[in-house]
Amino acid sequence: MGLTNDIVENWTARVETERQRTSPPDGFRPLPDIPAGRYIDPAHFELEKTAMWQKTWLYAAHIDQFPEPGSFVMWRHGSAPILIMRGDDGELRAFYNTCRHRGAPVVRSATGKAGAVLVCGYHGWSHDRQGKLRAVSDPRDWQDLDRNCRGLIAVRCERFGNWIFVCEKLDVEPLADFLAPVSRFLTHLPLMQLRLVNRREFDVNCNVKVLIENFLEAYHFKLLHPNTTERIFDNKGTSVHLWDNGHSMMLSPNRRKSWVDPGTVGMPEMAGSTAIERDYNPSYCFSPNLIVPIAPTGMPCVAMWPKTIRTSALEVLWFAPDWGGGERDPLWETRIANFDRIVDEDIQLAEPMQETIESRGFVGIPLNYQERRIYHWHEAVDRKIGAEQISPALRVTPSLRDEVE
Protein backbone atom coordinates (compact mmCIF):
# COMPACT_ATOMS: atom_id res chain seq x y z
CA MET A 1 0.00 0.00 0.00
CA GLY A 2 2.62 2.58 1.03
CA LEU A 3 1.64 6.21 1.43
CA THR A 4 -1.19 6.61 -1.07
CA ASN A 5 -2.60 10.05 -1.77
CA ASP A 6 -5.50 9.27 0.55
CA ILE A 7 -3.18 8.45 3.43
CA VAL A 8 -1.04 11.52 2.80
CA GLU A 9 -4.19 13.66 2.91
CA ASN A 10 -5.47 11.92 6.00
CA TRP A 11 -2.20 12.27 7.90
CA THR A 12 -1.81 15.89 6.83
CA ALA A 13 -5.33 16.65 8.06
CA ARG A 14 -4.56 15.02 11.39
CA VAL A 15 -1.61 17.31 11.88
CA GLU A 16 -3.91 20.29 11.28
CA THR A 17 -6.38 18.92 13.84
CA GLU A 18 -3.56 18.58 16.35
CA ARG A 19 -2.46 22.14 15.72
CA GLN A 20 -5.95 23.47 16.39
CA ARG A 21 -6.89 21.46 19.45
CA THR A 22 -6.95 23.12 22.86
CA SER A 23 -7.41 19.96 24.91
CA PRO A 24 -7.21 16.21 24.38
CA PRO A 25 -10.03 15.07 22.09
CA ASP A 26 -13.40 14.20 23.57
CA GLY A 27 -13.47 10.66 24.80
CA PHE A 28 -9.77 10.45 25.64
CA ARG A 29 -9.58 9.28 29.23
CA PRO A 30 -6.52 10.03 31.38
CA LEU A 31 -4.08 7.12 31.38
CA PRO A 32 -3.31 5.22 34.57
CA ASP A 33 0.16 5.87 35.98
CA ILE A 34 2.93 3.55 34.84
CA PRO A 35 4.22 1.79 37.97
CA ALA A 36 7.72 2.86 39.01
CA GLY A 37 8.70 -0.77 39.59
CA ARG A 38 8.70 -1.37 35.85
CA TYR A 39 11.94 0.64 35.74
CA ILE A 40 13.64 -0.40 38.93
CA ASP A 41 12.47 -3.87 40.00
CA PRO A 42 15.25 -6.39 39.21
CA ALA A 43 12.84 -9.32 38.84
CA HIS A 44 10.73 -7.35 36.40
CA PHE A 45 13.82 -6.41 34.42
CA GLU A 46 14.75 -10.11 34.14
CA LEU A 47 11.21 -11.02 33.12
CA GLU A 48 11.24 -8.46 30.36
CA LYS A 49 14.59 -9.74 29.15
CA THR A 50 13.60 -13.38 28.97
CA ALA A 51 9.95 -13.05 28.01
CA MET A 52 10.05 -10.01 25.75
CA TRP A 53 13.51 -9.08 24.48
CA GLN A 54 14.55 -12.67 23.85
CA LYS A 55 11.25 -13.52 22.19
CA THR A 56 10.73 -10.73 19.73
CA TRP A 57 12.20 -9.68 16.39
CA LEU A 58 15.08 -7.25 16.79
CA TYR A 59 17.07 -5.31 14.22
CA ALA A 60 20.57 -6.77 14.21
CA ALA A 61 22.53 -5.74 11.12
CA HIS A 62 22.48 -4.36 7.58
CA ILE A 63 23.18 -6.33 4.45
CA ASP A 64 26.20 -4.15 3.64
CA GLN A 65 27.98 -5.75 6.60
CA PHE A 66 27.97 -9.08 4.72
CA PRO A 67 29.55 -8.42 1.33
CA GLU A 68 30.51 -12.04 0.54
CA PRO A 69 30.07 -15.64 1.66
CA GLY A 70 31.70 -16.06 5.06
CA SER A 71 31.17 -12.43 6.10
CA PHE A 72 29.99 -12.39 9.68
CA VAL A 73 28.98 -10.12 12.54
CA MET A 74 28.84 -11.12 16.18
CA TRP A 75 25.60 -9.71 17.53
CA ARG A 76 25.70 -9.18 21.27
CA HIS A 77 22.25 -7.98 22.23
CA GLY A 78 20.64 -11.37 22.72
CA SER A 79 20.82 -13.83 25.61
CA ALA A 80 24.32 -14.85 24.39
CA PRO A 81 26.63 -13.99 21.47
CA ILE A 82 24.90 -14.70 18.18
CA LEU A 83 26.88 -15.21 14.97
CA ILE A 84 25.20 -13.80 11.86
CA MET A 85 26.90 -15.09 8.74
CA ARG A 86 26.45 -15.20 4.98
CA GLY A 87 26.53 -18.79 3.77
CA ASP A 88 28.04 -20.20 0.60
CA ASP A 89 24.55 -20.01 -0.91
CA GLY A 90 24.39 -16.26 -0.20
CA GLU A 91 21.75 -16.69 2.53
CA LEU A 92 22.10 -15.00 5.91
CA ARG A 93 21.79 -17.19 8.96
CA ALA A 94 22.17 -16.68 12.68
CA PHE A 95 23.50 -19.13 15.28
CA TYR A 96 24.52 -19.18 18.88
CA ASN A 97 28.29 -18.86 18.75
CA THR A 98 28.57 -21.89 20.97
CA CYS A 99 30.45 -25.03 19.93
CA ARG A 100 28.32 -28.12 20.49
CA HIS A 101 31.27 -29.98 22.00
CA ARG A 102 32.04 -28.24 25.29
CA GLY A 103 30.61 -24.83 24.57
CA ALA A 104 33.60 -22.77 23.49
CA PRO A 105 33.13 -19.78 21.18
CA VAL A 106 33.56 -20.88 17.58
CA VAL A 107 34.32 -17.36 16.33
CA ARG A 108 36.29 -14.96 18.50
CA SER A 109 36.15 -11.68 16.60
CA ALA A 110 33.39 -9.10 16.41
CA THR A 111 33.27 -9.05 12.64
CA GLY A 112 35.20 -10.41 9.69
CA LYS A 113 35.22 -13.08 7.04
CA ALA A 114 35.29 -16.76 7.92
CA GLY A 115 37.24 -19.20 5.81
CA ALA A 116 35.50 -22.14 4.17
CA VAL A 117 35.52 -23.87 7.56
CA LEU A 118 35.16 -22.38 11.03
CA VAL A 119 37.33 -24.29 13.43
CA CYS A 120 36.61 -24.18 17.14
CA GLY A 121 39.80 -23.07 18.87
CA TYR A 122 39.44 -25.49 21.78
CA HIS A 123 39.54 -29.00 20.23
CA GLY A 124 39.20 -28.29 16.56
CA TRP A 125 35.65 -29.23 15.63
CA SER A 126 35.08 -27.68 12.23
CA HIS A 127 31.90 -26.17 10.84
CA ASP A 128 30.89 -24.94 7.43
CA ARG A 129 29.45 -21.49 6.75
CA GLN A 130 25.95 -22.87 7.08
CA GLY A 131 26.65 -23.84 10.70
CA LYS A 132 26.87 -27.59 10.06
CA LEU A 133 29.45 -29.66 11.91
CA ARG A 134 31.70 -31.09 9.21
CA ALA A 135 34.48 -32.85 11.09
CA VAL A 136 35.82 -33.54 14.56
CA SER A 137 39.44 -34.00 15.63
CA ASP A 138 40.57 -37.51 16.54
CA PRO A 139 37.52 -39.23 15.07
CA ARG A 140 38.84 -42.58 16.36
CA ASP A 141 37.87 -41.48 19.86
CA TRP A 142 34.22 -40.91 18.98
CA GLN A 143 31.55 -43.56 18.68
CA ASP A 144 28.13 -42.94 17.19
CA LEU A 145 28.55 -39.18 17.09
CA ASP A 146 25.91 -37.97 14.68
CA ARG A 147 27.47 -34.86 13.17
CA ASN A 148 24.10 -33.88 11.73
CA CYS A 149 22.77 -33.20 15.21
CA ARG A 150 25.82 -31.36 16.53
CA GLY A 151 25.92 -28.29 14.31
CA LEU A 152 25.55 -24.75 15.67
CA ILE A 153 22.09 -24.04 17.03
CA ALA A 154 20.23 -21.60 14.81
CA VAL A 155 18.13 -18.63 15.82
CA ARG A 156 15.57 -17.05 13.50
CA CYS A 157 17.06 -14.62 10.99
CA GLU A 158 14.96 -12.80 8.38
CA ARG A 159 15.20 -9.68 6.28
CA PHE A 160 13.12 -6.56 5.89
CA GLY A 161 14.56 -4.67 2.93
CA ASN A 162 18.26 -4.56 3.60
CA TRP A 163 17.82 -4.90 7.32
CA ILE A 164 18.51 -8.17 9.08
CA PHE A 165 16.44 -9.05 12.11
CA VAL A 166 16.93 -11.94 14.51
CA CYS A 167 14.67 -13.58 17.06
CA GLU A 168 15.62 -16.20 19.62
CA LYS A 169 12.10 -17.61 19.81
CA LEU A 170 12.01 -20.26 17.13
CA ASP A 171 8.25 -20.45 16.68
CA VAL A 172 7.76 -16.70 16.45
CA GLU A 173 5.61 -15.34 13.60
CA PRO A 174 7.43 -14.47 10.35
CA LEU A 175 9.20 -11.10 10.49
CA ALA A 176 7.00 -9.79 7.65
CA ASP A 177 3.88 -10.46 9.73
CA PHE A 178 5.34 -8.89 12.85
CA LEU A 179 6.32 -5.72 10.98
CA ALA A 180 3.22 -5.53 8.76
CA PRO A 181 1.39 -2.93 10.91
CA VAL A 182 4.25 -0.48 10.26
CA SER A 183 5.74 -1.77 6.98
CA ARG A 184 2.41 -1.31 5.16
CA PHE A 185 3.16 2.44 5.22
CA LEU A 186 6.65 2.04 3.75
CA THR A 187 6.15 0.01 0.60
CA HIS A 188 6.33 3.10 -1.64
CA LEU A 189 9.98 3.57 -0.64
CA PRO A 190 12.89 1.60 -2.14
CA LEU A 191 14.07 0.30 1.22
CA MET A 192 15.85 -2.59 -0.50
CA GLN A 193 18.28 -0.10 -1.95
CA LEU A 194 19.25 1.72 1.21
CA ARG A 195 22.87 1.48 2.15
CA LEU A 196 24.51 1.65 5.54
CA VAL A 197 26.27 5.01 5.76
CA ASN A 198 27.45 4.92 9.33
CA ARG A 199 27.09 2.95 12.53
CA ARG A 200 28.12 3.89 16.03
CA GLU A 201 27.28 2.24 19.32
CA PHE A 202 27.98 3.48 22.79
CA ASP A 203 27.09 2.77 26.40
CA VAL A 204 24.64 4.89 28.33
CA ASN A 205 24.28 4.74 32.09
CA CYS A 206 20.54 4.42 32.42
CA ASN A 207 17.74 1.88 32.11
CA VAL A 208 16.80 1.21 28.51
CA LYS A 209 13.22 2.41 29.00
CA VAL A 210 14.46 5.86 29.93
CA LEU A 211 16.08 5.98 26.49
CA ILE A 212 13.31 4.38 24.47
CA GLU A 213 10.60 6.56 25.96
CA ASN A 214 12.65 9.64 25.22
CA PHE A 215 12.45 8.80 21.51
CA LEU A 216 8.69 8.23 21.63
CA GLU A 217 7.62 11.77 22.37
CA ALA A 218 8.28 15.35 21.36
CA TYR A 219 7.08 16.83 24.66
CA HIS A 220 10.69 17.35 25.75
CA PHE A 221 11.89 19.13 22.61
CA LYS A 222 11.34 22.65 23.91
CA LEU A 223 13.58 22.18 26.92
CA LEU A 224 16.13 19.65 25.76
CA HIS A 225 16.54 20.60 22.11
CA PRO A 226 15.78 24.35 21.91
CA ASN A 227 18.30 24.91 19.13
CA THR A 228 17.80 21.75 17.12
CA THR A 229 14.56 19.79 16.78
CA GLU A 230 12.48 22.50 18.45
CA ARG A 231 13.57 24.97 15.78
CA ILE A 232 12.88 22.59 12.92
CA PHE A 233 9.56 21.01 13.88
CA ASP A 234 6.28 22.56 14.93
CA ASN A 235 5.41 20.14 17.67
CA LYS A 236 2.04 21.66 18.30
CA GLY A 237 1.05 19.78 15.16
CA THR A 238 2.61 16.44 16.07
CA SER A 239 0.14 13.62 15.58
CA VAL A 240 0.49 10.18 17.10
CA HIS A 241 -0.43 6.93 15.37
CA LEU A 242 -0.67 3.66 17.27
CA TRP A 243 -0.45 0.33 15.47
CA ASP A 244 -0.57 -3.33 16.36
CA ASN A 245 2.38 -5.21 17.89
CA GLY A 246 3.48 -2.07 19.75
CA HIS A 247 4.57 -0.24 16.59
CA SER A 248 3.75 3.45 16.29
CA MET A 249 4.64 6.70 14.61
CA MET A 250 4.70 10.37 15.45
CA LEU A 251 4.36 12.82 12.61
CA SER A 252 5.80 16.27 13.18
CA PRO A 253 5.42 19.02 10.60
CA ASN A 254 8.41 21.11 9.63
CA ARG A 255 7.98 24.67 10.87
CA ARG A 256 8.60 25.98 7.36
CA LYS A 257 6.86 24.08 4.61
CA SER A 258 9.57 23.98 1.99
CA TRP A 259 12.42 23.69 4.47
CA VAL A 260 15.22 21.42 3.36
CA ASP A 261 17.99 20.40 5.72
CA PRO A 262 20.99 22.33 4.32
CA GLY A 263 23.13 19.36 5.28
CA THR A 264 21.38 17.20 2.68
CA VAL A 265 21.44 19.41 -0.40
CA GLY A 266 22.63 17.44 -3.41
CA MET A 267 22.26 14.05 -1.75
CA PRO A 268 20.27 11.50 -3.76
CA GLU A 269 16.63 11.10 -2.74
CA MET A 270 14.59 7.93 -2.42
CA ALA A 271 12.33 7.48 -5.41
CA GLY A 272 8.69 7.52 -4.37
CA SER A 273 9.15 9.98 -1.47
CA THR A 274 5.97 11.87 -0.65
CA ALA A 275 5.04 15.13 1.07
CA ILE A 276 5.10 13.15 4.33
CA GLU A 277 8.84 12.51 4.10
CA ARG A 278 9.58 15.94 2.62
CA ASP A 279 7.51 18.34 4.73
CA TYR A 280 7.19 16.33 7.94
CA ASN A 281 9.27 14.13 10.17
CA PRO A 282 7.54 10.74 10.25
CA SER A 283 9.31 9.01 13.12
CA TYR A 284 8.34 5.35 13.13
CA CYS A 285 8.94 3.00 16.04
CA PHE A 286 9.58 -0.59 15.06
CA SER A 287 8.68 -2.10 18.38
CA PRO A 288 10.36 -2.54 20.74
CA ASN A 289 13.51 -0.49 20.17
CA LEU A 290 14.16 0.86 16.69
CA ILE A 291 13.34 4.48 15.89
CA VAL A 292 13.16 5.25 12.17
CA PRO A 293 12.65 8.94 11.27
CA ILE A 294 12.48 8.92 7.48
CA ALA A 295 13.67 11.76 5.23
CA PRO A 296 13.93 11.51 1.42
CA THR A 297 17.73 11.55 1.59
CA GLY A 298 17.95 8.85 4.26
CA MET A 299 17.59 8.52 7.98
CA PRO A 300 19.35 8.20 11.29
CA CYS A 301 17.89 5.19 13.07
CA VAL A 302 18.35 4.70 16.76
CA ALA A 303 18.35 1.26 18.34
CA MET A 304 18.43 0.93 22.12
CA TRP A 305 19.47 -2.14 24.06
CA PRO A 306 19.15 -3.22 27.69
CA LYS A 307 22.38 -4.30 29.33
CA THR A 308 21.77 -4.23 33.07
CA ILE A 309 18.84 -2.69 34.87
CA ARG A 310 20.76 0.59 34.97
CA THR A 311 22.88 0.44 31.82
CA SER A 312 22.07 0.32 28.12
CA ALA A 313 23.64 0.57 24.71
CA LEU A 314 22.55 3.04 22.10
CA GLU A 315 23.27 2.46 18.43
CA VAL A 316 22.97 5.24 15.87
CA LEU A 317 22.63 3.89 12.34
CA TRP A 318 22.45 5.92 9.16
CA PHE A 319 20.81 4.54 6.05
CA ALA A 320 20.58 6.37 2.74
CA PRO A 321 19.81 5.80 -0.92
CA ASP A 322 22.70 4.39 -2.91
CA TRP A 323 25.10 7.20 -3.82
CA GLY A 324 26.74 5.24 -6.63
CA GLY A 325 30.44 4.46 -6.68
CA GLY A 326 33.08 6.18 -4.62
CA GLU A 327 33.12 7.79 -1.23
CA ARG A 328 30.01 9.05 0.50
CA ASP A 329 29.18 12.75 0.20
CA PRO A 330 31.46 14.85 2.48
CA LEU A 331 28.30 16.52 3.84
CA TRP A 332 27.65 13.32 5.77
CA GLU A 333 30.21 14.28 8.39
CA THR A 334 28.18 17.35 9.37
CA ARG A 335 24.87 15.56 9.08
CA ILE A 336 26.03 12.80 11.39
CA ALA A 337 27.57 15.26 13.85
CA ASN A 338 24.35 17.31 13.96
CA PHE A 339 22.29 14.30 14.89
CA ASP A 340 24.89 13.17 17.44
CA ARG A 341 24.43 16.52 19.11
CA ILE A 342 20.69 15.87 19.52
CA VAL A 343 21.32 12.40 20.90
CA ASP A 344 23.88 13.86 23.27
CA GLU A 345 21.33 16.37 24.55
CA ASP A 346 19.06 13.42 25.35
CA ILE A 347 21.81 11.48 27.10
CA GLN A 348 22.82 14.46 29.21
CA LEU A 349 19.41 14.16 30.84
CA ALA A 350 18.93 10.38 30.67
CA GLU A 351 22.00 9.49 32.71
CA PRO A 352 21.27 11.69 35.74
CA MET A 353 17.68 10.48 35.52
CA GLN A 354 18.77 6.96 36.45
CA GLU A 355 19.70 8.18 39.91
CA THR A 356 16.46 10.09 40.39
CA ILE A 357 14.19 7.25 39.29
CA GLU A 358 15.87 5.04 41.86
CA SER A 359 14.67 7.47 44.48
CA ARG A 360 11.72 6.96 46.84
CA GLY A 361 10.49 10.13 45.21
CA PHE A 362 9.70 8.16 42.05
CA VAL A 363 6.44 6.31 42.48
CA GLY A 364 4.90 6.21 39.02
CA ILE A 365 4.57 8.03 35.72
CA PRO A 366 1.52 10.00 34.64
CA LEU A 367 1.47 10.34 30.85
CA ASN A 368 -0.39 13.02 28.94
CA TYR A 369 -2.23 12.79 25.62
CA GLN A 370 0.77 13.50 23.42
CA GLU A 371 2.88 10.99 25.38
CA ARG A 372 0.48 8.09 24.82
CA ARG A 373 2.87 6.24 22.50
CA ILE A 374 4.82 5.39 25.64
CA TYR A 375 1.78 3.79 27.23
CA HIS A 376 1.09 1.90 23.99
CA TRP A 377 4.67 0.58 24.08
CA HIS A 378 4.18 -0.73 27.63
CA GLU A 379 0.86 -2.35 26.75
CA ALA A 380 2.52 -4.28 23.91
CA VAL A 381 5.31 -5.43 26.21
CA ASP A 382 2.81 -6.84 28.69
CA ARG A 383 0.88 -8.58 25.91
CA LYS A 384 4.09 -10.18 24.68
CA ILE A 385 5.09 -11.36 28.15
CA GLY A 386 1.54 -12.38 29.08
CA ALA A 387 -0.03 -10.10 31.68
CA GLU A 388 -0.62 -13.02 34.03
CA GLN A 389 3.17 -13.49 34.32
CA ILE A 390 3.58 -9.96 35.66
CA SER A 391 2.98 -9.10 39.28
CA PRO A 392 -0.33 -7.19 39.50
CA ALA A 393 1.36 -4.13 40.98
CA LEU A 394 3.61 -3.83 37.93
CA ARG A 395 1.15 -4.46 35.10
CA VAL A 396 -0.19 -1.66 32.96
CA THR A 397 -3.94 -1.56 32.50
CA PRO A 398 -4.86 -1.96 28.84
CA SER A 399 -6.29 1.42 27.93
CA LEU A 400 -5.51 2.31 24.33
CA ARG A 401 -6.90 -0.66 22.40
CA ASP A 402 -9.55 1.51 20.72
CA GLU A 403 -6.91 3.91 19.43
CA VAL A 404 -4.92 1.26 17.58
CA GLU A 405 -5.37 1.74 13.84
Residues that bind Fe ion (CB under 5 A): 346
The Cα 374–Cα 215 span in angstroms is 9
Picked from ligand FES, Fe ion, none, the partner binding residue 21 (CB below 5 to 8 A depending on kind) is none
State which of residues 7, 8, 74, 104 lies at the interface with ligand FES (CB under 6 A).
Answer: 104
Picked from Fe ion, ligand FES, none, the partner binding residue 102 (CB below 5 to 8 A depending on kind) is ligand FES
Picked from Fe ion, ligand FES, none, the partner binding residue 346 (CB below 5 to 8 A depending on kind) is Fe ion
State which of residues 47, 99, 251, 270 lies at the interface with ligand FES (CB under 6 A).
Answer: 99
**Shortest gap between Cβ of 94 and ligand FES (angstroms)?**
19
11 part of the interface to ligand FES, by CB under 6 A:
no
**Shortest gap between Cβ of 374 and Fe ion (angstroms)?**
13
Picked from Fe ion, ligand FES, none, the partner binding residue 122 (CB below 5 to 8 A depending on kind) is ligand FES
Tell me the C-alpha to C-alpha distance, in Å, between residue 208 and each of 136, 311, 353, 379.
42, 7, 12, 16
**124 vs 262, beta carbon nearer ligand FES:** 124
Picked from Fe ion, ligand FES, none, the partner binding residue 120 (CB below 5 to 8 A depending on kind) is ligand FES
State which of residues 21, 102, 200, 256 lies at the interface with ligand FES (CB under 6 A).
Answer: 102
184 part of the interface to ligand FES, by CB under 6 A:
no
**Shortest gap between Cβ of 91 and ligand FES (angstroms)?**
24
The Cα 290–Cα 211 span in angstroms is 11
**104 vs 387, beta carbon nearer ligand FES:** 104
200 part of the interface to ligand FES, by CB under 6 A:
no
State which of residues 101, 147, 236, 278 lies at the interface with ligand FES (CB under 6 A).
Answer: 101
108 part of the interface to ligand FES, by CB under 6 A:
no
**Shortest gap between Cβ of 228 and Fe ion (angstroms)?**
9
Exposed, middle or buried by CB within 10 Å (0-12, 13-18, 19+), for 287? buried
Picked from ligand FES, Fe ion, none, the partner binding residue 104 (CB below 5 to 8 A depending on kind) is ligand FES
The interface with ligand FES within residues 112-141 (CB under 6 A) comprises 120, 122-125
**Shortest gap between Cβ of 99 and ligand FES (angstroms)?**
3
**133 vs 295, beta carbon nearer ligand FES:** 133
- Beta-bridge partner residues of 167: 156
**Shortest gap between Cβ of 281 and Fe ion (angstroms)?**
12
**Shortest gap between Cβ of 333 and ligand FES (angstroms)?**
43
Which residues contact ligand FES (rule: CB under 6 A)? Answer: 99, 101-102, 104, 120, 122-125
